[in-house]
Amino acid sequence: MSLTPEQKADQDRLLEKGNGWDCYQFAHHVPGADKKALEARILEIGDANACRWFALDIPGAHIPSLQARVLEIGSSWDCRWFAQHITGADIPVLQKRTLEIGTGYDCYQFARHVPGADTESLLARVLEIGDKNDCLLYARFIPGINEDSLQRLRTRAKTLGSASGEETTSPSPAP
Residue-wise pLDDT tens for the chain (175 aa)? 799 999 999 999 999 999 999 999 999 999 999 999 999 999 999 999 999 999 999 999 999 999 999 999 999 999 999 999 999 999 999 999 999 999 999 999 999 999 999 999 999 999 999 999 999 999 999 998 889 988 989 898 898 887 655 544 433 333 4
Spatial CB neighbours of 44, under 8 Å, sequence gap ≥ 6: none
Per-residue pLDDT at 174: 38
Which sign does the torsion angle of CA 16, 17, 20, 24 carry? negative
Per-residue pLDDT at 118: 96
- The beta-carbon contacts of 35-40 under 8 Å, at least 24 apart in sequence, are 35/60, 35/61, 36/60, 37/11, 38/11, 38/14, 39/65, 39/66
Per-residue pLDDT at 57: 97
Which tens digits make up the pLDDT trace of 33-51?
999 999 999 999 999 999 9
**Helices and strands in the chain: count of H runs, count of E runs:** 11, 0
Per-residue pLDDT at 145: 87
Per-residue pLDDT at 168: 45
> CB–CB of 86/56 below 8 Å?
yes
Per-residue pLDDT at 1: 77
**Would the pTM count as exceeding 0.85?**
yes
Which tens digits make up the pLDDT trace of 117-143?
999 999 999 999 999 999 999 999 999
